Copies of this chain bind each other. A is one copy, B any other.
Amino acid sequence: MVLELRPPEGTTLDALRELGPVFISYVLSFVFVGIYWNNHHHLFQAVRAVDGRVLWANLFLLFCLSLLPFASAWMGEHEFAAVPVALYGVILLAAAVAYFGLVRTLLPIQPEGTRLAEAIGNDAKGKISPLIYALAIPIALVAPAIAFAMYVAVAVIWVVPDTRIERTLSR
C-alpha cells in the first residue's frame, strides 16, 4: 500500500499551502494504517496457530487497507467533497469489520493457555469504531466536515495510549 504525495507546480509557500487538504488526508490515512499496523503486530504476538481461513481474513483486511490510499487521494484532491468523504468512511468501516473478522477467526483455533483473548480484552474501541463509521457515512453526504471530524475522533481514541499495549513486551 502506497500513499502518494505529488510535489506542487510552483515553488512558493502558496503552492505548498494549496496541498493542505491532500496533506491532511495523507496524515489521517498514515495514522489509520499505523493503527492497524500496531494492532496487527500486537495481535499476532499472542497468536500461536493459524489456518487457511486466517490467511484469507488477513488478506481481506489487507485488501480494505489497500483501498485507503485511493479514497485518501480522492478525498484530499477534491477538498473533502461529500461522496469522497463518505467513501473514505465506507473503507474504514470495511477495514474495521475485516479486523473484527480476523480476530474472531483466530480466537477459536488457538491452543489452550494462549493469551490471545486476554490480549484483546473487551475490545471497546474495536466495537465503537465501526459504529462511528456507520454513523459518519450518511452524515458525510450532507455535512462532510462533521464526518471527517468523526474519523479524526476515532483515530484519536486509538492513538491515545492504550493500557492493553502499554505493558512492556519482551522481545
A residues in contact (CB < 8 Å) with B: 2-3, 5-8, 11-13, 15-16, 27, 30, 34, 37-38, 41-42, 47-53, 55-56, 59, 63, 66-67, 70-71, 73-74, 77-78, 81-84, 87, 109, 111, 159, 161-162, 165-171
Cβ contact within 8 Å between B109 and A168: yes
Q: Taking A2-B2, A165-B52 as contacts, is the C-beta distance between A74 and B7 under 8 angstroms?
A: yes
CB closest residue in chain B, given A1: B2
Minimum CB–CB distance from A69 to chain B (whole Å) comes to 8
The A interface is mostly helix, strand or loop, or mixed, namely helix
Minimum CB–CB distance from A148 to chain B (whole Å) comes to 14
> Can you list 29 A-B contacts (CB < 8 A)?
A2-B2, A5-B70, A6-B70, A6-B73, A11-B81, A11-B84, A12-B83, A15-B83, A16-B83, A16-B87, A30-B59, A30-B66, A34-B59, A34-B63, A37-B59, A38-B52, A38-B59, A41-B55, A42-B52, A47-B171, A48-B170, A49-B168, A49-B169, A51-B165, A51-B166, A51-B167, A51-B169, A52-B166, A55-B165
